Amino acid sequence: MLHNLSIRQLREQLDNKKVSAVELAQHFLDRATAHADLNAFIRRDPEVTLVQARAADEAMAHNQSGALTGIPIAHKDLFVTTDFATTAGSKILAQYISPFDATVVARLKNAGAVTLGKLNMDEFAMGSSNEHSHYGAVKNPWDTTRVSGGSSGGSACAVAAGLTVGATGTDTGGSIRQPASFTGITGIKPTYGRVSRYGMIAYASSLDQAGPMARTAEDCAILLNAMHGFDERDSTSMARDSEDFTRLLGQKFSNEASESQPLKGLRIGIPSEFYGAGLDAEVKQTTLAAIQQFEQLGATLVDVHLPKTELSIPTYYVIAPAEASSNLSRFDGVRYGYRAEQYTDLEDMYRKSRSEGFGWEVKKRIMIGTYVLSHGYYDAYYLQAQRLRRMIAQDYQDALAQCDVIMGPVAPTTAWRMGEKSDDPVQMYLEDVYTLSLNLAGLPGMSVPCGFSSTGLPIGLQIIGHYFDEARLLQIAHAYQNASDWHTRRPTVAQ
């Protein structure tokens, strides 16, 4: 079945003329229609998609194809696009059409990828369950009574269910890695500044980072090849040479490595703070079993410490809302987006447009952010959080000085039932305890499928690396996926 093939396998199908880009796009459009109940897509336009597919077929007919020409993908609705409305999962941006494409969208389009549509998400990327979307919750394809994770839940669901081959996501505090873990796919958050944020609607500017989500590490590497690179329009973009993130796939980690132990020489740091109270027993057992398999592939384990792991939660939930309160002030009903129908003056229009246009979770974080930035609280909360941020980043530097990568769980639990944590936001915030610190430090990390719970829910392994070491992370994940089959498992809807 076409929807169970990887990007590389589909490339072979296209190059050998066993399928056309139009046929491939139509196959995925039909699947999205058939499984609309998952609520993964916010917006699709078959006419736009098929125009792009026909252009890809034309390019291939003239031998002008690349790795992604004709490959169907979809974008998280946080990336602005000229061909589809962009809403960030919010009522306040309903029907907004951007006059330009986000850099990530433009680069993938220039690489020949065919866009299937825009994917559902937590409103303005604020959430861990994809229950905070104006367009409704996204269902987990492994168990539709459970959440798909957030905020890139639509992207994760669409890939896992075989509605797209790959998708873009964003990660502010774990929003690529956690939904990837909950749905049994692979996702990577690159180093901060590796992928342009231009045209990506901002939640917390110093934390947001775009990345690919797909079934395999190899597919993520192919997508990242097209997505990354310096962008002068993004002041946070890092001026580094372009890389081929597939270059290390299949290679041995060191000169000591062999066919049976391709990762010999790899040092894996195991932070005790990731395996303490609050971690579900099955998640702990599954991730440790995966790490044992890495040992069989030649790796050695090193005990490391990240003592301020728990402090990452209060640190994040001061810094991120503070930046959000500033970033979201532009959505006021004046220039674009939702405007209240009845108001008495300009101030009343602001108040009613924002009150009616934003959802509860967004309004809550705006209020928190405004509070911590206000006179008398800035020093006590925001500056203190920034000091802790530097200390958390230093903890990672100290740990990574002793090892090549750090491994642990992505989330303390598997996907929970819809509505289960809605009345207790603190419990939902605690679900990000293993992912938040990575964004505070700006390091790259990824989630790789490593097993299932006794109830059949996917569990992901988190791999954390040095700055700009994405190629190594992908190499290590690829070696694990060559030795395991967790990433090949499919929910019923994708079989």
Render 465-484 in DSSP notation, one character per residue. -STT-HHHHHHHHHHHHHH-
- Catalytic choice (65, 76, 181, 196): 76
What pLDDT, on the 0 to 100 scale, is given for residue 427? 86
Decide if 98 is inside a domain.
Answer: yes
Distances (CA, A) of 130 to 119, 133, 146, 235, 334: 11, 6, 10, 29, 28
Q: How confident is the model at residue 375 (pLDDT cuts 50, 70, 90)?
A: confident
Name the residue range of residue 371's domain. Answer: 312-383
Edge-first strand listing for the sheet containing 72-76? 41-43, 114-119, 72-76, 166-171, 209-214, 186-189, 445-452, 458-464, 405-409, 267-271, 300-304
Please give the pLDDT value at position 189.
98
pLDDT exceeds 90 at position 425:
no
Residue at 267 is within a domain? no
- CATH number at 29 reads 3.90.1300.10
Tally of domains within the chain: 2
pLDDT in tens, 164-215: 999 999 999 999 999 999 999 999 999 999 999 999 999 999 999 999 999 9
3-class state of residue 163 by DSSP: coil
What is the predicted pLDDT for the residue at 495? 85
- Residues 156, 51 share a domain: yes
Mark whether 26 and 162 lie in a shared domain.
Answer: yes
Assigned domain for 330 exists: yes
Instruction: Specify whether 284 is catalytic.
Output: no
Candidate list 90, 129, 175, 453, residue with the active-site label? 175
- Residue 281 inside a domain? The answer is no
- Residue pair 246/221 in contact (Cβ under 8 Å)? The answer is yes
Q: Is 468 left (phi over 0), alpha (psi -120 to 50) or beta?
A: left
pLDDT tens-digit profile of 294-309? 999 999 999 999 999 9
Model pLDDT for residues 103-139, shown as the tens digit of each residue: 999 999 999 999 999 999 999 999 999 999 999 999 9
**Which 3 state secondary structure label does DSSP give 146?**
strand
**One domain, residues 341 and 241:** no
Neighbours of 218 (CB within 10 A): 22
> Which entry of 20, 90, 133, 151 is annotated as an active-site residue?
151
Question: Is 467 contained in some domain?
Answer: no
Would residue 151 show up in a list of annotated catalytic residues for this protein?
Answer: yes
Asked whether residue 321 falls in the same domain as residue 175, the answer is no
453 given a catalytic annotation: no
- Asked if residue 483 is part of any domain, the answer here is no
- Is 266 within the bounds of a domain? no
Q: Which of 383, 406, 438 is the last residue of a domain?
A: 383
> What gap in Å lies between CA 326 and CA 331, rounded to an integer?
10
Among residues 383, 403, 423, the one where a domain terminates is 383
pLDDT band of 339, cuts 50, 70, 90 = very high
Q: How many CB atoms lie within 10 A of CB 241?
A: 6
Sort residue 124 into left (φ over 0), alpha (ψ -120 to 50) or beta.
left
The answer to whether residue 290 is domain-embedded is no
